[in-house]
Amino acid sequence: MTHPLTDTDRARVAAAVTHAELSSAGEIVTIITPRSDIYRDVALGWSAFVALLALAALELAPDFYIALVDRVLGLWASDWSPRAVLGLALTVATLKFLGMLALMAWFPLRLWLTPGPVKAARVHARALTCFRVGAQSRTTGRTGILIYLSLAEHRAEIIADEAIAAKVSPEVWGDAMHAMLGHLRQGHVADGMIAAVEQVGAVLALHFPRADDDVNELPDRLIEV
């Protein structure tokens, strides 16, 4: 998937983070990624399913498929031994498996065939990993918060550090998510991220007002992984 951000977009997001942090002790980390997983297991699962489906069809209508093979190969209704039938089944299953695997090499199809709950779980898992590396317990007051956007899956996550999570319920970030997704549906990725930053910043300013001696502990720039 082509990355939709320009240098100007990156600078705008960083400026939005800087501005949002002027009013609070919170530290906002923004991360954007083309995709959160490559879903190899999904490709293998679908390939195995198609192979099993072919075997099931052969089992349900063996005479039809054996006659079809006879016509294609010009065998004139030869007498099929059990070994030949098993060989046919193995060949069909293998060809179906490899054919589906080749189709699933095209990532858009693989992503389309990935169930929604699987995509949601993978995005959440990747967001948690990024949060632990980039924000969790990396500020003095444990006031880091991650805004994570995965483009291919069209999903976002907002994960807050311990101090924020103790005061702000996850449902509060719904407005930020709504503001972000509204722009994303129109293809405005940077505007979506900026809208989320502004909403998160407003919540942080309410619960964690900035102190006079507050310092910037985490980078304001947009991180791309």
pLDDT at 73: 67
Q: What confidence tens digit (pLDDT) does each residue in 144-190 have?
A: 999 999 999 999 999 999 899 999 988 899 989 998 988 998 889 99
Q: What confidence tens digit (pLDDT) does each residue in 52-73 have?
A: 998 898 888 777 777 777 777 6
72-97 residues labelled b (16+ CB within 10 A) or e (exposed): eeeeeeeebeeeeeeebbeebbeebb
Global pTM reads 0.84
pLDDT at 61: 79
Residue 74 pLDDT grade (very low, low, confident, very high; cuts 50, 70, 90)? low
d(CA 58, CA 169): 55
pLDDT at 3: 55
* pLDDT (mean) for 71-78: 65
Residue 169 C-beta-side C-alpha neighbours within 13 Å:
2
d(CA 113, CA 150): 17
DSSP class per residue in the chain: ------HHHHHHHHHHHHHHHTTBS-EEEEEEES-S---HHHHHHHHHHHHHHHHHHHHHSHHHHHHHHHHHHT--S----HHHHHHHHHHHHHHHHHHHHHHTTSHHHHHHTS-HHHHHHHHHHHHHHHHHHHTTT-STTS-EEEEEEETTTTEEEEEE-HHHHHHS-GGGGHHHHHHHHHHHTTT-HHHHHHHHHHHHHHHHHHHSBPPTT----S--SPEE-
